[in-house]
Structure 1
Amino acid sequence: MKEVEPSQGHGRSVALLFPLSLMLFEFAAYLTNDMIQPGIIDVVREFNADVSLAPASISIYMAGGMVLQWLLGPLSDRIGRRPVLLSGTLLFILSCVATLFTSNMEQYLLTRFIQGTSMCFIATVGYVAVQEAFGEKDAIKMMALITSITLIAPIIGPLAGAAFIQIAHWKGMFALIAILALVALLGLWRTMPETVMRQGTSFSFGGIADDFKQVFRNRCFLAGALTISCAYIPLMAWVAISPVILIDNGGLTSSQYAWTQVPIFVAVILGNLTVVKLVGDNPSDRILWAGAPIQLTGLCLAVLGNLLAPHIWLWSVAGISTYAFGTGMIFPILFRRTLFSSSSPKGTVSATLNIIVLSSIALSIEVGRLVYQYGNKMLFHALGLAAGALSLMFLMRFLQALKVNGSTQPLAPLLEDIQE
């Protein structure tokens, strides 16, 4: 796809307001997970459902994040990023409004599934547009900043959610989130650039299948995608299952639970900000090799702590927080390098990447739920350590493949003059 140069005078709004609007949309999408987590036990009880379904609120959301990947990436390659992302933002708003009218657990999970499709639009379309609009170092910095700011949601979300359910019904959260997403939609409509041109490529299932086959045959890309997948499994499994561990079985209140999540997501933000500081002066490979051992150290701490003192939840939080810092360091770089490790259309590449990542996370949440249900916290964290070890193994193969094959370079970015 050929990229479009923005008109003069539009560059500043693209550089600032487009990423800001995308960040606001992602922030709203995160809040649908993080604000409801302190009250998810209340949701389950209100609908007279089994408490073991509590983690399904996130795993179903993740499943929604996979269902449209195959379509949105190739579609945005053919008709452009802008109309696809705007449509996805509107769908998210409508799904939040629909939550207000749910009357049973099945309906609630259905709205969660639809809300999860927002991740298709954000990661497959929005992130790609950012990567196409900026050069490599600026794109890494921009992605790190976007991730840092949107990760405020997992910090304030549980706290705000815990406070909200003390004064109002939990459904009101989704009304507030819908309003926030509406502001994001207006911002995207005004400022989002179109980074690809329509070139008359026909939309056919055969053409889509051929594009995906080309990406899946790229071993270098697969190694990068599996690195990201395994790197995120411990964090997402903890987010999904920690309410059962700490509230239902651990006896913490919703407010106490919310505070246990703060250091974890602060650590991810600090990791992202470390990338912003280091990426200008250091090769990205060096940053990756610095972050991976920090991940494994944190996961080992969680396992050993729960082996020696399983009744102390502090070991879990300390270990996951340390691991989260390392994850924050590697993700912005890994995403960029994996996306451009294939020469295929970037919407399709991003869709393939997210299918692999989200399916791995959704599966791991269900496996983690069963491991904890029939085992204990130590076994649950051991599963995370195994994922971390696999991530390091795939990282080694990915970097080796990049050296052998050469990293596929992106087309000239739209914004060459972004201010540092």
Structure 2
Amino acid sequence: MQFIAKWIARPSAMLFFPMALILYDFSAYLTTDMIQPGIINVVREFNADVSLAPASVSLYMAGGMALQWLLGPLSDRVGRRPVLLTGALIFSLACAAVLFTTSMEQYLVARFIQGTSVCFIATVGYVTVQEAFHETKAIKLMAIITSIVLIAPLIGPLCGAALMHFVHWKILFALIAVMGFIAWLGLLFNMPETIKKRGAPFSATGVARDFRAVFHNRIFLTGAVTISLSYIPMMAWVAVSPVILIDDGGLTSSQFAWTQVPVFGAVILANMVVARFIRDPASPRFIRASVPVQLTGLVIAVAGNLLFTHVWLWSVLGTSVYAFGIGLIFPTLFRFTLFSNDLPKGTVSASLNIVILSVCAASVEVGRWLYLDMGGRLIFHTMALVSGVAMAFFLAALLRLLKERSESMAAEE
């Protein structure tokens, strides 16, 4: 561990590696958030069906799942640096490629490739942070990173809506491509290598064996399901809200952008609370206290749409309260699940992201189907409430398993 200690001792690495990772992550978010107010314009320009609008998000998430099986084990064997640097460069090129799209199909292919950035960031970038810092510091640092990155959903729709009054929507992707390239340069000069001892040579048998071991771990499985269920209300909202509020609700792009501010602002506020005020974010008592906040938000969304007629108030209010509740504990849930076993963390992270993105992609499609074909906002938010209740049960099971593991390790000592 001396190589990690030496790197941490370098102030420049402490500062500039997280900054470059944040810029890369921030840019990846912007590919969805800046175009979100104009996605209906994209669909119409390519003469496609409006029902394809949410596919821009679901295919992005599918891209984020596509390479998980490869990148985690690969980074365990060849190192974190070469894998993340390759991903940042691919992302920049995929954003630039949007400038040359002439059909909805080409646009969606570009979105799929852009989505692979999720693989590189979550499976390699975040794991590097977790490996370089101890538990409490890593959780707080991830909360800070998340807080900064989530400014993208706040300013992205507003900037996107404003810029599209002056430039074509494709120019947005050109700007993001430049940001991605700057992030690549930052990683090139500042990213540490936390894998000193390379793993076994890359082989299909070895990869399959590692994945099998991960998916046989009860704590990992419970944590993965808990995190996946917690994502459903937020990701379904991100994907379907343009159809709800712009296409059906009649809001302008600018009005829609403002409705997203309280939702993502709530997540940022929650992460700031964790980073600044919570001494032990891994405390089971603190984690349990967040659950009533989450469920209250989901109930507000359902009850408000059931009892009152308003195009956006109850949906936005309920989703914002939920976002604050889940933002309080997400970095901790990720840490718990990642370190649930002693297997290579690249493989564990890849396994986790495969589960999360599979569930999210499916939930976007289910949410779109429920809203468009099964009754509108009420049943859409009911899906979110069901997932929130299920998440609470799995969270309780996760905490129980962690307690049993801790007691077992203490008894062995």
TM-score range, shorter chain: over 0.9
Partner of 1:393: 393
Which structure shows the bigger proportion of residues in helix conformation?
2
Match of 2:279 in 1: 280
Alignment of 1:30-41 (within 5 A): 30-41=29-40
Q: Hey, what does 1:162 align to over in structure 2? A: 161
Instruction: Please state how far the C-alpha of 1:205 moved relative to its aligned partner.
Output: 0.5
The answer on 1:242 being equivalent to 2:241 is yes
Structure 1 spans left out of the alignment, 5+ residues: 410-420
Tell me what 2:258 maps to: 259
Retained in 2: the 8 A contact 1:45–1:51? yes
How far apart, CA to CA, are the structure 2 residues paired with 1:282 and 1:184? 29
CA distance in 2, matches of 1:200, 1:272: 34
Question: For residues 315-354 of structure 1, what are the structure 2 equivalents within 5 Å?
Answer: 315-354=314-353
Write the deviation string for residues 313-350 of structure 1: whole angstroms up to 9, x where unpaired. Answer: 10000000000001110101111111001211000000
Residues 75 and 346, structure 2, Cα contact 8 Å, conserved in 1: yes
Question: Equivalents in 2 of 1:201, 1:266: separation in Å?
Answer: 44
- Contact map agreement 2:223 2:337 (CA 8 A) in 1: yes
Is residue 291 of structure 1 aligned with residue 321 of structure 2?
no
Q: In the alignment, what sits opposite 1:380?
A: 380
Contact 2:77–2:202 (8 Å) recurs in 1: yes
The 1:8–1:214 alpha-carbon spacing in structure 2 relative to 1, beyond 3 Å, is closer
SS at structure 1 position matched to 2:3 = coil
Task: Show structure 2 runs of 5+ residues with no match.
Answer: none
> 1:22-33 maps to which residues of 2 (within 5 A)?
22-33=21-32
Once the two structures are TM-superposed, the CA of residue 5 in structure 1 deviates from its matched residue by 3.1
**C-alpha distance 103-291 of structure 1, shift in aligned 2 (>3 A):** same
Aligned to 1:418: none
Measure the CA separation in 1 of the matches of 2:22 and 2:41: 29
TM-score by length of 2: 0.96
Instruction: Assess if the C-alpha contact under 8 Å between 2:281 and 2:329 holds in 1.
Output: no
CA distance in 1, matches of 2:175, 2:73: 32
CA contact (8 A) 2:17 2:190 kept: yes
**RMSD over equivalenced CA pairs, Å:** 1.6
CA contact (8 A) 2:43 2:50 kept: yes
Task: Report how many residues are paired.
Answer: 408
| Residues in 1 aligned to 2:100 and 2:408: alpha-carbon distance in whole angstroms | 48
Question: Offset at 1:376?
Answer: 1.2
Which amino acid letter does the alignment assign opposite residue 157 of structure 1?
G
Tell me the CA shift for residue 8 of structure 1. 6.5
Query: What does 1:20-419 correspond to in 2, within 5 Å?
Result: 20-199=19-198, 201-281=200-280, 283-374=282-373, 375-406=375-406
C-alpha distance 281-400 of structure 1, shift in aligned 2 (>3 A): closer
Per-residue deviation, 1:408: 11
* SS of match in other structure, 2:202: coil
Separation in 2 of the partners of 1:8 and 1:159?
A: 38
Task: Note the alpha carbon deviations across 1:297-321, whole angstroms, 9 max, x for none.
Answer: 0000000000011434100000000
> Is contact 1:343–1:408 with CA below 8 Å preserved after alignment?
no
